[in-house]
Structure 1
Amino acid sequence: MARSMHPALDATTVRFPDPRFPAGRGYLAACTLGIPATATVAAVARDLERWRDGVNSPAEYTAVLERARGHAATLLGANVDRVAVGSQGSVFVALAAASAPAGARVVVVDGDFSSVVAPFLAHGDLDVQHAPLDRLAEAVTPSTWLVAFSLVQSATGEIADAASVIAAARAAGALVLIDTTQATGWMPTDRLDADIIVCHAYKWLSAPRGAAFMAVSDRALDELVPLTAGWYSGEDPWASCYGPELYLAAGARRFDVSPAWHAWAGAEAALELAASLDLDAVRHHDVGLADAFRERLDLPPSASAIVSWPDPEGCDLASLTAAGLAASGRAGRARVAFHLWNDEEDVDRAARALGR
C-alpha cells in the first residue's frame, strides 16, 4: 500500500473543522454528496491537465487505481486481493442477485435504499422478504440464502445492529451483504464480518462520483458469478483484452468493472485521506454535532451523524435552503448531516433557520 501523502493527519492530530475542506461552512449534505478536499481538487485538476496535454497513459491510471484499491481495503478491513472496483454500488449488488439460486430467499430492509433492494426484485424469481430494520435479525431463517442491508439507512440515518444480523445469518448459513455507502468515512467499517461489503465513495468519502468498491469473503468469491467480466477482470488486464478465452483473476479483481479513470484520479486522493483518519475520532465529532442539533429540535440523541425528521410539506427543508444551508429531503423527511468540515456554528445556523 502506498505511503500516506498526509503524514500530518493521524490519530493524534485530527482537527475539526478540517481546514482541507475550505468550502464546508453551512454544508450539511454529506449524506447526499460529499465535497472534495483540497488534495482531491488538485488531483482532479492535475489529471485534466495531463489529459488535455496528451501525457496521461492507461498504465498510470492502473497505478492510481491500485493505490486506491489499497486504501479501500484499509477502510473495509479487507485484504487487497479481496477488493473489487467499479463505478456503481448497484452493479455489485446485482452480481449477488444474479448469482442467487432460483427461488432463493433474500431478506432486505423495508424502505432501504433502492440500490440495495432493486437488483433482487428485478431478478424475477427470488423470494424477497422485507423486514423492519429493528427486526431484521429475526427475519433470517434457515431457508434464507442472503440478507442484505445498508449499515446506515439513507432516509432516516438509523444504524443497523449489524452484529445481531450477522450472527443470525451465520447460524442460518446465509450470506451477508452490507452497503456502507452512508457509513464509510464517518465511522469505522473495518470490523464487519460480512461476505459482501459494497460502498460508493461519493458521499462521506468525498470522492468524485463513479468510484465504488466491494470487499468479498472467500465464500462470496466462490459463489458470485462475475457476469460483468470484461478486459479488466483478468489477472493482468493488458493480457486479457481479447477472446476467445475467458480470463478471470484469482481474487476479487474478477469482479472489477473497467474503471472510470478520471473519477479514480480524484478517488485515490480522497480515499487516501479517509484511510489516514482516526475514524473513531471522526465519529465522535460528527455524532456530537448531530446530537447537539437534535437537542435544539427536541429530538432524542442518536449514534448517527445523519439527523432526519418528518417534513412532509418540505417547509423545514425550504427554511434551511433559504438560510443558505445545503440540506436534503428524503421520503417525506428533512435530512442534514454533519462531517469533517462542520462545527458548532453550523449547528447554530441550522437550528436558527428552523426557529430553534
Structure 2
Amino acid sequence: MNTASAAQSPADSRSAAQPAPLPIAELGFSAPPGYLSACTAGLPTAATAAAMRGFIDDWAAGRADARALGGQAERCREHYARLAGVAVDRVALGSQASQLVSVVASSVPDGAEVLCAAGDFASLAHPLEQLAHRGVRVRYAPVSRLAEELRTDTALVAFSLVQSATGEVADAEAIRAAAEQVGARTLVDLTQSLGWLPVGADPFDFTVCHAYKWLCAPRGTAFLTVRAGLDEQLVPLAAGWYSADDVWSSCYTDHMPLAAGAGRFDVSPAWPALGGTEAALGALAALDPRAVHAHDLELANAAREVLDLPAGDSAIVTWADPDGTALAALTAGGITASGRAGNARIAFHLWNTADDVELLARALGR
C-alpha cells in the first residue's frame, strides 16, 4: 500500500516540509537494546510508567478519585481522536478489541455475508463467526484479494490494516472503494498500525484498536470509531452506567439515557490503565507521524537487508521459521522477538536504534 496516498489523521496535517525530529530521549523508554516486539506489546514511556505507579499509590492510600479518573478517560478519548483523525464524539472506549467488534457485528443483517482476511487475528474474526445462528456467512480471502472478492451480498468486509502474523499492509483504499461499489461496510482493526503507519480511522465505517501495542499504552484500553450516521445501526450490547453523556446522572435504572454519539458504546473503563493510557496517547499524539513512520520503516528495512529480504512497507518484519530455529537464536542473542504462524517476527518502533539491527545481525551470525 502506498501510505503517502492514504487518508491521514489531523496530526498529519502539517506542512509538506521535512518531518519534525523525534524527541525520543525525552520520552524516557528504559528498555535495553534488543526489544524488537512492539507488535506483541509496546513499551511504556517514563510518564506512563509513573502514572501506573501513581494509581497504585493513590489506590493504596485511599486517594483514588472516581471523578478524576473519569476526566482521564475523556482525555484518553480526546488524544485517541486526534491520533485516529476523527471527531471526539466518534470514539467509544472499551477494554478489548473483540468486545468492540461484537458491537459492530450487531449491524450485520440476518443471512448476509461477511468477508474477512484469511489468517487475520482471531479477535477480529471470531465475534463475526458467532453470527451463524442468524444465517450470517463468514467467507475468507487473502488480504491482497479482498477488493476483488467483494460481492453484492457482502454486508461487511473486516480486515486488519496491518496483518499480525506477516506484517502485510493491506491496500485499504482499494478495499474501501470496492466496498463502496457493492454497498458493504468496512471494519478495520488498527491495532497493528496506528502509532507507526500514518493512516487513521476516518476513511472507514468502523475501526477498532487496542492501544497496548504501537500506542505504548497499558493493556486494558481499546477504542471503537463509528462513522457519523451509523450509530443507530449498532446495538449497544454492553450499555451500562458509562454509556451516557453525563455518566454521574445515569448510574441508576430510573435514568439511563444513552450518549448522543459513539459514547453510547462505551464500557466502564479499567481505572488502573487510564493514567498510563493518557500519558501514552498524549505523547504519541504530539509526535509527527511522518517522522515515526520514517524512523520505524528505516530500521525495519535495515533489518530486511541483514536478512536478505527485499525492502518492504511494514515496520513488522517476518520470515519463515517453521521449526523455531531463528527465534531460538534471537532469544539466545539477547533479542526479544516472537513467532507467529510459522514465521519469526520482529518489529521496530520509537525506542529502537541501529544498535538493534547490529544485535540482530550478530544473533543470526550475519
TM-score by length of 2: 0.92
5+ residue gaps, structure 1, are 1-9
Q: CA deviation at 1:23?
A: 1.4
Q: In the alignment, is residue 353 of structure 1 matched against residue 363 of structure 2?
A: yes
Cα distance in 1 for partners of 2:233, 2:126 equals 20
Partner of 2:342: 332
Match of 1:182 among 175, 187, 192: 192
1:220 pairs with 2:230: yes
Q: Judging changes above 3 Å, is the alpha-carbon distance between structure 1 residues 113 and 40 closer, same or farther for their aligned structure 2 residues?
A: same
| Deviates further, 151-160 or 99-108 | 99-108
- The match for 2:282 among 265, 269, 272 is 272
Counterpart position of 1:322: 332
Range with bigger deviation, 149-158 or 277-286: 277-286
Match of 1:151 among 149, 161, 178: 161
Number of the residue aligned with 2:62: 54
Q: CA deviation at 1:24?
A: 4.5
CA RMSD of aligned residues (A): 1.5
Q: Secondary structure at the match of 2:138?
A: strand
Q: Corresponding residue for 1:29?
A: 37
2:116–2:157: 8 Å Cα contact kept in structure 1?
yes
Deviation (angstroms), 1:22: 2.3
Mapped partners of 1:91, 1:346: distance in 2: 36
Partner of 2:310: 300
| Alpha-carbon distance between aligned partners in 1 of 2:270 and 2:78, rounded to the nearest angstrom | 17
- Do residues 38 (structure 1) and 38 (structure 2) align? no
1:102 has 2:81 as partner: no
Hey, what's the Cα distance between the residues in 2 that align with 1:85 and 1:340? 25
Which residue of structure 1 lines up, in the alignment, with residue 82 of structure 2?
A: 74
Q: CA deviation at 1:322?
A: 0.7
Question: Partner residue of 2:221?
Answer: 211
Give the match for residue 6 of structure 1. none
Q: Tell me, in whole angstroms, the C-alpha distance in 1 between the residues paired with 2:294 and 2:73.
A: 31
Confirm or deny: 8 A CA contact 2:86 2:201 kept in the other structure.
no
Q: How does 1:131-150 map to 2 (within 5 A)?
A: 131-150=141-160
Q: Secondary structure at the match of 1:254?
A: helix
CA distance in 2 between counterparts of 1:220 and 1:99 reads: 9
Conserved? CA contact 2:191–2:210, under 8 Å: yes
Aligned residue type for 2:186: V
In structure 1, what is the Cα distance between the partners aligned to 2:358 and 2:278? 34
Structure 2 counterpart of 1:93, one-letter code: V
SS across alignment from 1:203: coil
Say if 2:196 and 2:315, in contact at 8 Å, map to a contact too: yes
Give the C-alpha shift of residue 280 in structure 1.
Answer: 1.0
**SS of corresponding position for 1:248:** coil
Aligned-residue sequence identity (percent) comes to 52
Secondary structure at 1:232 match in 2: coil
Structure 1 counterpart of 2:265, from 255, 259, 270: 255
Once residues 54 and 191 of structure 1 are traced to their aligned partners in structure 2, the CA distance between those partners, rounded to angstroms, is 39
Asked whether the equivalents of residues 21 and 291 of structure 2 are also in contact (C-alpha less than 8 Å), the reply is no
Separation (CA, whole Å) in 2 of partners of 1:127 and 1:19:
46
Provide the rounded CA distance (Å) in 2 between the counterparts of 1:118 and 1:13: 41
* Secondary structure, counterpart of 2:39 in structure 1: coil
Name the residue aligned to 1:283.
Answer: 293
Of residues 95-104 and 237-246 in structure 1, the stretch that sits farther from structure 2 once superposed is 237-246
Amino acid at match of 1:348: E
Alpha-carbon offset, residue 222 of structure 1? 2.1
What's the CA shift for 1:246? 4.6
Stretch of structure 1 that moved more, 244-253 or 47-56 = 244-253
Q: Does 1:202 align with 2:212?
A: yes
Structure 1: 4+ residue segments shifted above 3 A: 15-19
Deviations 1:315-354 (A, max 9, x none): 1001101111100000111000011011111011112211
CA positional deviation for 1:192: 4.1
Give yes or no for contact 2:100–2:224 (8 Å, CA) kept in 1.
yes
Q: Distance in 1 between matches of 2:274 and 2:162?
A: 24
Q: Is the partner of 2:214 in helix, strand or coil?
A: coil
User: Which one-letter code corresponds to 2:70 in the other structure?
Assistant: T
1:86 deviates by 0.7
